[in-house]
Structure 1
Amino acid sequence: METCGEDPADPGVRFTTEPADAVLAPGEAALLPCSATSRRAIRLAWRHSVSATPTRDHAITDTDKYRKQLPNGSLSITEMSAALAGQYQCVATVDGVGTILSRVDLSNFHREVPELVGGARSVLGSAGGAALLSCGVRAPPRLALRLLSAAPDRKVYGAARLHNAPPLLKLNVTWLKNGQPLRMESTRMWVTPSGALELEPLRHHDAAVYACRVSLVNAPSQHKISAETELRVSAEPASAESPPRFIATPPPLTVMEGNYLYCSHEACHLQTTTCYIPANN
């Protein structure tokens, strides 16, 4: 921030509320908050850029058809579309003091299911043991996923423990067995928060070819199907001494300082764990 005639007793201008990342579906409305405080009069304005950090050349005008700045400084988006997605930034200016820029808000517009990454082509389990088949849903940057087929008592993250929880993209996950929807046996089959299929104890009739089908909650007809995984069940009994083994590990990620990093790891014979780590830790 640039200042002129700075008074040590004057706090200048600072944001009290900044915009947060959001996930929007086609036609949805959104409200991006922004407020600032100063001893002098403040002018608030908004910038938007589709792919890069907004600059002064990306100012949103008063004549914009779908976006209006409210009297309290917040930005109202009446109808989301691909053209309105991207990065938003609030600008606060005080004459004689200077101008400050808010954090960049990433407003995601999703009309497609996220990418599904390949998992193991074949998994070998023992009768009476456990097996975990990965679905491989890859979250877009700065976005968390909530897979609605997960058991009610399993949380994707502890939202109450985060100051600014990342936005959620809600997905439906259905597992297919030999190309047909799997009939879930509630006492020994679960879909984990990451979308993986957990079977315990294994039965011989579980041997088959599996794949997961992922769709948007607000558009079930739009879906993707993962690569197939063959589950083989050995007649040998499961060994109680067998160590856990990872079947999915976090991929390399690049994040902006101050944002949250989503990571998920899964291991056979261990309860699935999902975590959020502040990027500046």
Structure 2
Amino acid sequence: MERPVAGCVLGLWGTRTGCGPLLLTLLLRALSGTTHAADDGAVFVDLAFWREPQDTVVVRGGVLRLDCEARWDWLSTALAPPSPALAPPSLSWRKDGVALGSFVDERRTQMWNGTLLIQNVVHARHQRSDEGRYQCIAALEGVGSIASRTARVTVAGPLRVLAPTDSTSSHLGDSALFRCEVLGDPAPEVRWQKDGLDMDLRRSPDSRLALLPSGALLVSAVQPSDSALYRCVAHNAGSTRTGNDATLRVLSEPGVPRSLSFLLRPSSVNAPLGTDAVLECSASGFPSPSVTWRRGDEILQTWNKKYWLLGGSSLVISSVTVDDSGTYVCTASNKLQNISSTGRLEVLVPPQFLSFPSSSAALESTDVELECAVTGNPPPTVRWVKNGEEVIPSDYFQIVDGSTLQVLGLVKSDEGFYQCVAENAVGIAMATAQLLVREPGKPHPPVTLSDSLGPSRTLSDSL
């Protein structure tokens, strides 16, 4: 059995998968008892989520299900290896920052394992909508609480067609473009039909037909067989919209030069790290143009695994890395003319920890610092949560260097679990530390958890 810890999976007896060197070092230090607090003989509770609620799309009248599971173990070298039989902590739920238990709703059920079920999902102005941001709270009585990641629940709404698809004509060997402009939340998936039949538009460097990320259909090197009726079909969990029929008329090529013009220009594209990015571009004219791409002074070789052309002109960049961010230039040229247009790729990186807060024990009236440093693109916002409640900066709680928390003049009520929460447009990362506060000159009282939370265990330690 394995436990997910701060973004990697750590086996109960030290085996691990997917951990970075820094994170592995911190975890091994914690398990070996070489953290700051372990040197003082402190005994900490390792409370963590095994399953957290995920962003979900539901339909009106449907069933919303959000899963949550948390477990705890002792974290101390003075103890035997943690028992996998320990009971889970108590779980509760919040929506938009408000405890769900604070109001009655017969449609809502929390199952024995913590899973939240809401029947007959509602999304209307005159009723309390089920759409919103949900969090699971795991609590250990007398010790503290932690909050899960925030899960966004979207109730799928109807799709809206912004504009009809226009019919077009294209000369033999040239390119044609059909647009599909449909809005919805969540954004719809688009497919195209030709003469009423679904088209096979799987991405391939060899295909003349391309479904672009914008939903547009690009037909390159037009052939007589392309003459047909085309329509787009947009679908999300809430509805399906079928567009109007648009005609592609294929014209014979008279052989008279036509100025080059862009059917599609590249634009700014944001792509999450590790995904494939597409910079759209297409041009029309005679003689038929060829398309090349460059980045700075480098002409990109578009027939390898890293770069290739979709529909003969749009640039696909496979498995993007941070180094792929930058400006790209699409150039369409023939023997008479060339035209260029520029787009930019920004690779988005979810929050990643450079340093983690460490569990610590400190004396009353002293100051303590919980270190937290993160990186990501766009730069993550960082907030701190104490026992499931957001920390509001004050004279006693101060955030320095943008992300590190200082607690000044410790009092007993400052004890508990503190979470550093880093979030940006592509992800969220959370790290947890426990703070114990002790009276000077007095032995630390035994740490006791009630039988309702698992086997009763009492441990004494002192400074």
Category of TM-score, reference length = shorter chain: 0.5 to 0.7
- Does 2:147 correspond to 1:129? no
1:89 and 1:194 mapped to 2: Cα distance? Answer: 33
Structure 1 residue 212: deviation in Å?
A: 3.9
Quickly say closer, same or farther: Cα 1:243–1:145, change in 2 above 3 A: same
Structure 1 residue 204: deviation in Å?
A: 7.1
Quickly say closer, same or farther: Cα 1:184–1:59, change in 2 above 3 A: closer
1:266 and 1:92 mapped to 2: Cα distance? Answer: 46
Farther-moved stretch of structure 1 (101-110 vs 258-267): 258-267
TM-score by length of 2: 0.38
Residue of structure 2 in register with 1:164 after alignment? none
Quickly say closer, same or farther: Cα 1:252–1:229, change in 2 above 3 A: farther
1:183 and 1:42 mapped to 2: Cα distance? Answer: 54
1:45 pairs, out of 92, 101, 113, with 92
Structure 1 residue 14: deviation in Å?
A: 1.9
RMSD of the alignment, in Å?
A: 5.0
Structure 1 residue 264: deviation in Å?
A: 5.4
What is the identity percentage for the equivalent residue pairs of Structure 1 and Structure 2? 23
2:165 and 2:147 mapped to 1: Cα distance? Answer: 46
1:128 and 1:84 mapped to 2: Cα distance? Answer: 52
- Does 2:121 correspond to 1:80? yes
8 Å contact 1:44–1:91 — kept in the other structure?
Answer: yes
Pairs aligned (count): 231
- Does 2:23 correspond to 1:23? no
SS at match of 2:174: coil
8 Å contact 2:161–2:183 — kept in the other structure?
Answer: yes
2:164 and 2:270 mapped to 1: Cα distance? Answer: 16
2:68 and 2:131 mapped to 1: Cα distance? Answer: 18
Structure 1 residue 244: deviation in Å?
A: 8.5
SS at match of 1:84: coil
SS at match of 1:28: coil
8 Å contact 1:127–1:203 — kept in the other structure?
Answer: yes
Quickly say closer, same or farther: Cα 1:26–1:262, change in 2 above 3 A: farther
Match for 2:116: what amino acid?
L
8 Å contact 2:227–2:248 — kept in the other structure?
Answer: yes
Structure 1 residue 120: deviation in Å?
A: 10
8 Å contact 1:90–1:101 — kept in the other structure?
Answer: yes
1:232 and 1:59 mapped to 2: Cα distance? Answer: 61
Match for 2:90: what amino acid?
R
Between Structure 1 and Structure 2, the one with more strand by share is 2
Match for 1:146: what amino acid?
E
Structure 1 residue 146: deviation in Å?
A: 3.4
1:124 and 1:13 mapped to 2: Cα distance? Answer: 64
Match for 2:93: what amino acid?
W
Quickly say closer, same or farther: Cα 1:184–1:225, change in 2 above 3 A: closer
Superposition pairs of residues 1-281 of structure 1, within 5 angstroms: 8-39=42-73, 42-48=89-95, 54-55=96-97, 57-60=98-101, 63-82=104-123, 83-113=129-159, 126-137=171-182, 140=185, 145-147=188-190, 149=191, 189=209, 191-192=211-212, 194-203=214-223, 212=232, 214-216=234-236, 219-220=239-240, 223=241, 225=243, 235=253, 246-247=264-265, 249-250=267-268, 265-268=279-282, 270-271=309-310, 273=316, 277-279=348-350, 280-281=376-377
TM-score by length of 1: 0.58
8 Å contact 1:127–1:237 — kept in the other structure?
Answer: no
Structure 1 residue 127: deviation in Å?
A: 1.9
Quickly say closer, same or farther: Cα 1:216–1:12, change in 2 above 3 A: closer
1:96 and 1:243 mapped to 2: Cα distance? Answer: 70
Higher relative contact order by CA 8 Å / sep ≥ 6: 1 or 2?
1
Structure 1 residue 16: deviation in Å?
A: 1.6
Structure 1 residue 106: deviation in Å?
A: 1.0
Question: Gaps spanning 5+ residues in structure 1: where?
Answer: 49-53, 150-172, 176-180
